[in-house]
């Protein structure tokens, strides 16, 4: 039931090493992209290695939360609720970092801190949804009902993301469409050459490892917190 302590630490150590290597790669090894003109832009581009993985992890976290929601509703075991809340919290953290890092990147590139373009807007809405999730949880005292309602909400919220994104995309876009081949489309787009590509995927992997490490830790701390809560209730009830 409780993830083994050894696994958690091993995962954390592994993730830490991966992140360290990633940082070294990004700032030391990765070449400058070809078509960016100013030093500022070239340097700012490096955020891309951290920014996109942030979004990826955010998305992964919400996906896992939605799946955990389905599992909780069908199986009923508390461990799915624990997984769900842990995943949402971590996802929200990464999403917040993603929003901020994106903003930092945007200033030198687009000359604005924020803009209402599809990916950003969807991200902001997603952020709001999961803050709403946490607010929903904190507004319900009854633990079983809290778990049930959160599960329902996380499923609906996650499923609304693709359709929301689609809707918002049918407006204009200036976000660099990086994954679509190696053509630089849109403002600030740059070519995804082989070295850059490799480092990028390594960062993606490192961030994913970090997510799972944090998830394990958070899940464990949540279990312990609940156990403490139960013990406290038992003592109070008995006296």
Partner 1 sequence: MSYLRKVLAIVAKDVAAELRTREMLSSMFVFALLVILIFNFAFELRAEDQATLAPGVLWVAICFAGMLGLSRSFILEKDRGSIEGLLLAPIERSAIFLGKMLGNVLFMGLFELLILPIFVVLFNLSAGDLPLLLGVVLLGTIGFGGVGTLFSAMAVHTRAREVLLPILLFPVMVPVILAAVKLTAAIFDQLPLSEVQNWLSLLIAFDVIFMALSFMLFDYVIEE
Partner 2 sequence: MLMIEIRGLIKAFGNRPVLRGVNLEVSAGEFLTLVGPNGAGKTTLMNIIATLSRPTAGHIRVAGFDPAADATRLRRHIGLVSHKALLYDDLSAEQNLRFYARLYDVAQPEARIEMLLRQVGLWGRQHDPVRTYSRGMQQRLAIARALLHDPPVVLLDEPDTGLDRHGAARLYDWLHQSGVAQRTVMMTTHNLERGLQWGDRIAILAQGRIAFQASQSQLGVAQLRARYDQLVGDA
According to CB under 8 A, which residues from 135 to 164 bind partner 2?
A: 143-144
Of 160, 165, 153, 163, the C-alpha closest to 65 is 153
Residue found under tokens 């390594």: 202
Query: Cα(81)–Cα(73) distance, rounded to whole angstroms?
Result: 9
Min dist CB 98 to partner 1, Å, is: 17
233's contact among partner 1, partner 2, none, with CB below 5 to 8 A by partner kind, is: partner 2
Residues recorded for the chain = 239
**Residue 38 three-state SS:** coil
Residue 168 or 213: the one with the smaller Cβ distance to partner 1 is 168
Query: Cα(35)–Cα(192) distance, rounded to whole angstroms?
Result: 11
* Residue 193 lies near partner 2 (rule: CB under 8 A): no
Which of 1, 139, 235, 237 is in the footprint of partner 2 by CB under 8 A?
237
Please work out the total of residues on this chain that contact partner 2, with binding judged by CB under 8 A.
Answer: 7
Residue 96 or 208: the one with the smaller Cβ distance to partner 1 is 96
Which of 20, 201, 230, 232 is in the footprint of partner 2 by CB under 8 A?
230
Query: Cα(146)–Cα(140) distance, rounded to whole angstroms?
Result: 6
Site residues, partner 2 (CB under 8 A): 78, 143-144, 230, 233-234, 237
């Amino acid at each position: 039931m409780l993830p083994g302590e050894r696994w958690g630490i091993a995962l954390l150590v592994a993730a830490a090493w991966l992140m360290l290597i990633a940082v070294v790669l990004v700032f030391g090894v990765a070449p400058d992209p070809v078509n960016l003109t100013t030093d500022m832009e070239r340097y700012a581009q490096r955020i891309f290695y951290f920014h996109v993985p942030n979004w990826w992890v955010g998305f992964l976290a919400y996906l896992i939360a939605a799946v955990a929601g389905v599992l909780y509703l069908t199986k009923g075991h508390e461990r799915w609720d624990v997984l769900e809340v842990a995943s949402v919290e971590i996802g929200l953290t990464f999403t917040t970092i993603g929003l901020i890092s994106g903003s930092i990147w945007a200033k030198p590139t687009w000359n604005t801190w924020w803009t209402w373009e599809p990916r950003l807007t969807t991200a902001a809405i997603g952020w709001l949804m999961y803050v709403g999730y946490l607010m929903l949880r904190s507004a319900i005292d009854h633990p079983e009902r809290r778990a049930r309602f959160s599960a329902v909400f996380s499923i609906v919220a996650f499923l609304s993301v693709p359709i929301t994104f689609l809707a918002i995309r049918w407006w204009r876009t200036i976000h660099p469409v990086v994954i679509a081949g190696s053509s630089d489309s849109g403002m600030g787009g740059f070519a995804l050459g082989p070295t850059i590509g490799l480092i990028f995927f390594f960062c993606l992997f490192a961030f994913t490892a970090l997510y799972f490490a944090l998830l394990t830790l958070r899940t464990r701390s949540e279990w312990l917190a609940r156990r403490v809560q139960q013990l406290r209730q038992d003592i109070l009830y008995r006296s």
